[in-house]
Amino acid sequence: MTFQIEQILLIKDKVYLLTKSLDSSVTFKLSDNSFLGDFEIEKWFDIPKATDENGNYRTDNFAFVLKKATDREKIKQDDTLKLSNLYVFVAESSYTVSGKIISILECGAGMLDINTVLGYKEKKWKIIQNDMPIGRPKDIALQKKVKDNFWYLYDLEPIGHSERPKVGSSLQVLRNNDIINTF
C-alpha cells in the first residue's frame, strides 16, 4: 500500500503524517515494526475527517505517527511512501509434490512483492510467486479467516539451503543489505 504525504504536523513532540492512500482498496494492520517508506511508525493510525472539493467525506485519508521525530526532516509534502512491516509471521509452510516450498504468511501491510527476500537466523528465502489463491473461493469461513488474518500464499525459493520456513516463526523482510536480526 502506498501513501502520499499531504501534511506533516508536530504536536506535543510527536510528528503526525497526514496521508492520502494511492490504492483503491485499503486494508492493513500495523505492528510494532511497521514502516512508512524507510521511516518507523507507531502502532497507531487514525482516519481524519475531511471533505473533498464537492463536500463529500474522503475515505482515503490516514494519519500515522513517526517513532523518531528527527525523521521529520527527511520527509517532504507529496512524497509517496510504501507501508511495510519488518517481520511477517509464518502461518503455514510445506513442500509440494514437485518439491517447491509454499508458505502462508501473515502480512499486515499487504502482499509482498516478487523477489522480496525474507530471513530467519542465517537462512533466506526469495518470493518467486505471490497472489496465489488460498483454498476454494466458495469456502466462505476460510476466506473470512484469510482476510481477517492478512494471509497471503507465496511460492518461496530457498537461498543456499533447501529448508522451508518453520511454522510459527517470524521472518524478517530484508531491505537492500539488511543483516538478519536473531531473536
Task: Report pLDDT digits (tens) over 31-85.
Answer: 999 999 999 999 999 999 988 899 999 889 999 999 999 999 999 999 999 999 9
Domain membership of residue 29 as a residue range = 2-84
Q: Is residue 43 in a domain?
A: yes
CA distances from 163 to 2, 168, 181 (A): 33, 15, 19
User: pLDDT digit string (tens) for 57-67?
Assistant: 988 999 999 99
Are 127 and 113 within 8 A, CB to CB?
yes
pLDDT greater than 90 at residue 142: no
147-152: long-range pairs with CB below 8 Å, 24+: 147/27, 149/91, 149/106, 150/27, 150/28, 150/29, 150/106, 150/107, 150/108, 150/110, 151/91, 151/104, 151/105, 151/106, 151/107, 152/104, 152/105, 152/107, 152/111, 152/112
Task: Assess whether 90 and 164 both reside in one domain.
Answer: yes
Write down the pTM of the prediction: 0.80
90 and 118 co-located in one domain = yes
Please tell me the predicted confidence (pLDDT) of residue 42: 97
